Amino acid sequence: MSDIKKVVLAYSGGLDTSVIVRWLQDTYNCEVVTFTADLGQGEEVEPARAKAEALGVKEIYIEDLREEFVRDYVFPMFRANTVYEGEYLLGTSIARPLIAKRLVQIANETGADAISHGATGKGNDQVRFELGAYALKPGVHVIAPWREWDLNSREKLLAYCEERNIPVEMKKGKSPYSMDANLLHISYEGMVLEDPWAEAEEDMWRWSVAPENAPDQPTYIELTYEKGDIVAIDGQAMKAHEVLAHLNKVGGDNGIGRIDIVENRYVGMKSRGCYETPGGTIMLRAHRAIESITLDREVAHLKDSIMPRYAEVIYNGYWWSPEREALQALIDQTQGYVNGTVRLKLYKGNVDVVGRKSDDSLFDEKIATFEEDQGAYDQKDAAGFIKLNALRLRIAAGKGRKL
């Protein structure tokens, strides 16, 4: 059918990607290399090895990428206080460039002719995987089975498995939702959620308790920052992935991080999804707090103005693009003095900032005080400042212009 002799597949070990292994073997008469990434999804990834072996796969890559994921992707994104459409913390989006990078690297290492993924033709992930792959390996051949085959339902996938003796593990109590998880978040789509009026079922949520069922006493934590990244919690130094795992646990225990949104996909449709991002919710609030005392006003406002564009770049799959690198360089340059400690109170779904301190703080108590400032600020200066800033308004009003 083609010159494709070897394909590297992003492989989860689930139904879809197990079918894809056999479909690639049958359709392209090729060898399949599987790549399974541990991004902290909360499930063992090693069982994927046995499943791949049962499908005749000889080259199997299973890699723990948790630290790289948080250190090199999640943390840089949070330096920008990134939120898509005002709510979404980009948990799925930010994982895709790392997976795309490793797919390309493994293709180079194994001499593969193509890469493949299990993303559908309706979603954003196909765009993210493929934009990343093309940016890193311009001539790469991408095979997207969901855009080629006619196995467009779970029933057809299961029938395909039965016809070809593909083992399918039917877990009791398995969630009916389409889910994606990593250390930053877990997402839910499909089923009852396809009706934007229907409330999500309580037993859907995996990482957090309902806020009303969270403890009646608040939890206090202190986060220490160096150059915009959290390096310690309650004085204990931690690696990047340990920080996020810890915040997920304490946040989830206090009912933090649930959202239910309708977002605009890059491919054009609207999609309703529910997300749990307890650690990320805490990180966003804390990072803004430490920046509030360490960043210059105009620098902070500049960051806020470019954040929506930066969020779109990540959401749409352009992590490996010159515009993201340019934005990142600006963002990272602002973080040199973002050092210090933030104290937070976690209580029934809320994250309250109750303290912040830094040796690099620009907050001057002598100037800001409501008490006697010993001449640190001359209030008479404000009159000229106000008049100069009102000049254009006074001129327009004097000409009889109406607002």
Is residue 282 within 8 Å of residue 251, measured between CB atoms? Answer: yes
The two three-digit tokens of residue 65, written as one number: 């990428």
- Whether 359 is catalytic is no
* 38-59 burial code (b ≥16 CB/10 A, e <16): bbbbeeebeebbebbeebebeb
Active-site choice (22, 66, 79, 96): 96
The pair phi, psi for residue 121, each rounded to 5°, is: -80, 0
Is 29 marked as a binding-site residue? no
| Nearest one of 216, 383, 223, 210 to 290, comparing CA atoms | 223
Distance CA 346, CA 7 (A): 47
Amino acid at 177: Y
**125 assigned ligand-binding residue:** yes
Strand ranges inside 318-363, DSSP E: 340-347, 350-357
The annotation status of 271 as a binding-site residue, yes or no, is: no
| Residue 240 annotated as lining a ligand binding site | no
260 is in an annotated binding site: no
Determine if residue 264 is labeled as part of a ligand binding site. no
Phi and psi angles of residue 80, each rounded to the nearest 5 degrees, phi first: -95, 0
- Find the catalytic residue in 175, 178, 271, 361: 178
Whether 134 has a binding-site annotation, put simply, is no
16 catalytic per annotation: yes
Of 16, 72, 360, 373, the catalytic one is 16
Do the annotations mark residue 42 as ligand-binding?
A: no
Please identify which of the residues 125, 208, 272, 356 carries the catalytic annotation. Answer: 125
Helix (H) or strand (E) holding 32: strand 31-38
Check whether 178 is labelled as a binding-site residue.
Answer: yes
Is 187 part of any known ligand binding site? yes
Spatial neighbors of 344 by CB under 8 A, at least 6 apart, are 220, 221, 222, 223, 282, 285, 286, 351, 352, 353, 354
Question: Is 91 marked as binding a ligand?
Answer: no
Is residue 153 flagged as an active site residue? no
Instruction: Check whether 396 is labelled as a binding-site residue.
Output: no
93 marked among binding-site residues: yes
- 13 belongs to an annotated ligand binding site: yes
142 HSE (CA, 13 A, CB side): 24
Q: Which residue has the tokens 């990134």?
A: 82
The reply, when asked if residue 400 is annotated as ligand binding, is no
96 is catalytic: yes
Q: Catalogue the active-site residues.
A: 16, 96, 125, 178
Numbered residues of the known binding site for L-aspartate? 120, 124-125
Numbered residues of the known binding site? 10-18, 37, 88, 93, 118, 120, 124-125, 128, 178, 187, 263, 275
Numbered residues of the known binding site for ATP? 10-18, 37, 118
Numbered residues of the known binding site for L-citrulline? 88, 93, 124, 128, 178, 187, 263, 275
